[in-house]
Amino acid sequence: MKDIKLMQEYRHKGEGFSPLYISGEWQVAQINYIQNQEIGNIKSLDIHFKTDELFVLLKGSAILIAAERKDNNFVSYEMTFMKEGIVYNIPKMVWHNIALLEDAEVLIFEDKNSHLGEYEIVNLSMDEHIKLTQKLKKTLFDNTQVGITK
């Protein structure tokens, strides 16, 4: 009798972003630590015009970034130090990115066409980059201090 595989497994072990599964209207991808996503190396933010994007921390440490943009400038940032197993949603039309520490692995759920033209990427100015990096470092410090005292 021939063995039939009733389940499939998907995993991305390398650095950076990789789609894992695409079906119907959505895809599951994974982003693992990569140097250009480190705190201090975030140089751009992106926005999805037609769909939300969901993030789930599998392991390690990551900071999810959302931003408000007015008059072609990023004017405020909201950051979340992600907790494992929690689903975080970035609604459509919200600027965002993710900062990854060396051990981070994050699942991403999104429309399968979100990276085929239904988005925009904007490079940060030097001032915006400095402001974002300072806020990321503060978020990391605040959350690691909490972890030390508990």
Q: What is the mean pLDDT of residues 58-75?
A: 95
Assess if residue 3 is contained within a domain.
no
Decide if 20 contacts 30 (C-beta within 8 A): yes
Domain housing 35: 17-149
Assess if residue 53 is contained within a domain.
yes
pLDDT by residue (tens digit) across 30-55? 999 999 999 999 999 999 998 999 99
pLDDT of residue 69: 95
Assess if residue 21 is contained within a domain.
yes
Assess if residue 43 is contained within a domain.
yes
Sorted by sequence, the CB contacts under 8 Å of residue 74 that are 6+ apart come out as 45, 67, 68, 95, 124, 128, 131, 132
pLDDT of residue 150: 37
Strand-pair category, 105-111 with 26-32: antiparallel
pLDDT of residue 149: 40
Assess if residue 79 is contained within a domain.
yes
Share of the chain above pLDDT 70, in %: 94
pLDDT of residue 138: 95
Q: How many domains does the chain have?
A: 1
Which CATH number is 59's domain given?
2.60.120.10
Assess if residue 101 is contained within a domain.
yes
